[in-house]
A and B are shown apart, each in its own frame.
Chain A
Amino acid sequence: MTRRIRSKIARGSGELAILSLLAEQPLYGFEIAKQIGERTGGALKFTLASLYPLLYEMEKRGWVEGRWQANHAGRDRRYYRLTPGGRRQLAPLREEWRSFFQALDTLAGVSHA
């Protein structure tokens, strides 16, 4: 069973999780939260309260862009897509997290825990 990751850790990884998802396709808020939950087996869960401030912050930085359009059911949704600036953030963010996990692994052996 996958354990739910505590909110402070999850929030720190939120930018990378969202950028990685949007690198595949544009999604709206509900879909982003749903896919993060499903694809991490429930380990990461974004509520409305944790997701939207982060999304707006990323939009402000120019990493993502929100645009209203109809979803598959024909209902208006604000779809977020990755901007070129956001795409450029992905590699350094991944690298930063990789270094972080390596450091943590050295210290606490987390990869084999």
Chain B
Amino acid sequence: MPDWKSLVQERLALLNLSHDAKEEVVKELALHLEEICDNARADGLADSAATALALEEVHNWPALSAQISRARSKEEVMNRATKALLLSIAVLFPAGLILLFLQRAPVMQMLIWTACAAMLLCAAASEANRLSHRTRSLWLPALATFFGASVSLMVCEFLGVKPRMVWMNHYAVGHVALFLYWPWLASLPLFGAAGAHLSLRAHGAARARLAAGLSPALIMLTVWVVILPWGLLIDGVHFFQLVGFGLGLVNWVAIPGVALLLGAAPFLGEARPIPV
């Protein structure tokens, strides 16, 4: 009977892994071959025939070495890269939000949003094959749409596009205004389409495609719903506040939502065929 561990170690010499990982793979594969051999002998085969049967399991050891090296070592490299990218996004994104909130450093904001979008795309590209179905079909397309819409708004701000105020007269609160960034709203169907299309490419269900396409509006809705109770808690309940909340919903959720839906709509109906 061969020494299976030595045999596997010798034939997997090209395995490009750390010492411990290599030891583990060699041990696992050697035990597998040994068990095949033992079973064959238990079924009545002679030692030489049982050994030959076990060795039939692998025809090309260098190819197997390469496949296993790729499957295991890539994990360490790619995971580190992805973690670094996600960590950078986690640091930059709140910084961008703070600057946005304070209305400071528009150029820096532009750089931050662009960098976040670029890093997100890099992380997605490096991890696309191993992500869960939901991440590929919902979370990533949704994030891509959100970043795209955010960067578009930043560009409008950067270029000095002023919102157009649409005044409305309300009997209880007097004149109230909607602030509409027309160039930004005009760009939203493109991002809605991109999100729904990315989800469709990943075989997302219709609901996932819709959520991915409308993600900026859905995120703003969540923010608004979180902000309202705080506002009421701090300032007390006033009718004017509720009107302001309603206008905010129309400004940042309803109108952008319709614009995004225009773009996403063509991708909602038909399921993507499975590539053969």
A interface, CB within 8 angstroms of B: 29-30, 33, 47-49, 52-53, 56-57, 59-62, 75-78, 85, 88-89, 92, 96, 99-100, 103
Q: Complex Cα distance A60/B77, Å?
A: 11
Q: How far is the CA of A113 from the CA of B134 in the complex (A)?
A: 35
Tell whether, in the assembled complex, residue A30 and residue B274 are in contact, meaning their CB atoms are under 8 Å apart.
Answer: no
Within 8 A of A (CB), among B218-276: 271, 273-274
| A29 contacts B28, C-beta separation under 8 Å | yes
Closest chain-B Cβ to A77's Cβ sits at a distance in Å of: 7
Output the least CB separation between B55 and chain A (Å): 10
B67 near A89 (CB under 8 angstroms)?
Answer: no
Chain B residues within 8 Å of A62, by CB: 130
B72 within 8 A of A: yes
Beyond the given A59-B75, A76-B31, A77-B31, could you list 6 further A-B residue pairs with CB under 8 A, ordered by the A residue number? Answer: A29-B28, A47-B56, A52-B32, A53-B68, A92-B133, A103-B273
The answer to whether A60 and B67 have CB atoms under 8 Å apart is no
Which secondary structure dominates where chain B touches chain A? helix
Given A53-B64, A92-B133 in contact, is the A48-B74 Cβ separation under 8 Å?
Answer: no
The docked-state distance in angstroms from the alpha carbon of A48 to that of B67 is: 12
Asked whether B3 is an interface residue with its Cβ less than 8 Å from the other chain, the reply is no
B40 at interface (Cβ–Cβ under 8 A)?
no
A-B contact count (CB 8 A): 69
Give the CA-CA distance A88 to B132 in the complex, in Å: 8
CB distance from A93 to the nearest CB of B (A): 8
Docked-complex contact A30 and B32, CB < 8 angstroms: yes
Pairwise interchain contact A48-B130, C-beta atoms closer than 8 A: no
Please tell me if the beta carbons of B59 and A49 are within 8 angstroms of each other in the complex.
yes
Binding site for A on B (CB under 8 A): 24-25, 27-29, 31-33, 35-36, 56-60, 63-64, 67-68, 70-72, 74-75, 129-134, 203, 271, 273-274
Contact check, B75 vs A60: say whether CB atoms are below 8 A apart. Answer: yes
With a 10 A CB-CB cut-off, give which of A56, A57, A100 has the most chain B CB atoms. A56
User: Which label, helix, strand, loop or mixed, suits the secondary structure of the A interface?
Assistant: helix
Which residue of A is nearest B127, CB measured? A61
Name B28's contact: one of A75, A78, A85 (CB within 8 Å).
A78
Pick the residue among B56, B64, B132 that contacts A89 (CB under 8 A): B132
Chain B residues within 8 Å of A30, by CB: 31-32, 35-36
> Is A49 touching B64 in the complex (CB atoms < 8 A)?
yes
Report the bound CA distance from A29 to B74 in whole Å: 21
B16 to chain A, nearest CB (A): 13
Which chain A residues lie closer than 8 Å to B273 at the CB level?
103
Pair A103/B274 contact, Cβ less than 8 Å: yes
